[in-house]
Structure 1
Amino acid sequence: MEFIQEVTSLYAERGSWFLELIGAHIALSLTAIVCAGVIGLLLGIWISIHRKAAGSVLTAANILYTIPSISLLGMLIPFLGIGNPTAVVALTLYGIMPMVRNTYAGITGVSPEVISAAEGMGSTQAQIMLKIRLPLAMGVITAGIRNMVVMTISTAAIASFIGAGGLGVAIYRGITIYDTAMTFSGSLLIAVIAILSDFLLGIVERRIKKRLHLG
């Protein structure tokens, strides 16, 4: 109970500082999410068209995904230095994997009968991709986005160790000065943002799947 009071007091006394960290954390995460989303989507579309390259691309993305976050940040520092740019690159590389995988799975999972019917009606491959494959794959793609968003928000906490902003600053500072309340406060806010994002994206995902089912 005493610890909870300590955390509550910390939020009350340093509210503006925590709000600033929340803003920086969201900005950092959102930048990486947009970059990973666009790159992963385009790459997923590309390998769904060029199937022979799918294995190599997915393997490379999987290798990047399995590298520990702190190790990846350390490997990027000699090339990009410290700060937000390095963190954005690292988070983007992590986020590409779920986007590529789900985009590829969603597109290739579209029923061949549907594609054959569209081709029989004279649709071009571009029209089939934009009007049939992608819309029908959106449920799977949204699940990839959901996974990527939560992972990016959580992993962004590590970015403070290389001088980037965000709520990881509170965690890092709490560790260095042995302030468990500050460490907990930063961790709790990250968890809340991740859970809220997952909840909202879950609603979007369910609505998309319901619409596809009804369609």
Structure 2
Amino acid sequence: MYPPKHHQDYNEENIKSVATAYPFATLVSAQNTIPFITHAPLIFHGDKLVGHIDANNPHVELLKDNYPITVVFQGPQTYISPSIYTTNQLPTWNYIIAHARGIVKEIKEPEIVKKSMVVMTEFLETPNHNFKLSIEDPRMDRLVPYIHCFEIEVQQWEGKFKLSQDKVPADIENARQELIKNNQKDVADFVNGLFEKHF
């Protein structure tokens, strides 16, 4: 990522927290000059990221042993109007992004694939755990052949947290509140609009 130092975060735990809070990731691989991009949730198993995609996805060919990959986790983001600042500023865009670069390893053992699905479901059901996936569920055995499971050994984490850090304290706080407010409102407006048009 383009790295102005005041927007970079070098604390690995801070960067990983983005991946934990926003696990729906963008997976990016390349073969020759052709990019392959897939969106899927990834969760931590120890220090590794584990995920599953449809076995018919052509990206599968690049999610096998020793292939390099870049993963993007996007946290909240928003346009920042100069009108929210106490000082004279120009428009900007604030965002929280984490990149992970690493090497892929394919997971083929059916019991490990099923276990990874159970662990992922348990994580995604946090905090209320209204549903528990059983590894003994017979549907799991029918599903496994159609799933490509893989883990990523992360070799480098990058974090870019553009949060108006170069502004005065009052403006930093105003930008923080704008980021929170706009993400809540934008999601509600967008989803409600889609439902009105399509359902």
TM-score, normalised to structure 1's length? 0.26
Q: Which has the higher strand share?
A: 2
TM-score, normalised to structure 2's length? 0.28
Q: Which has the higher helix share?
A: 1
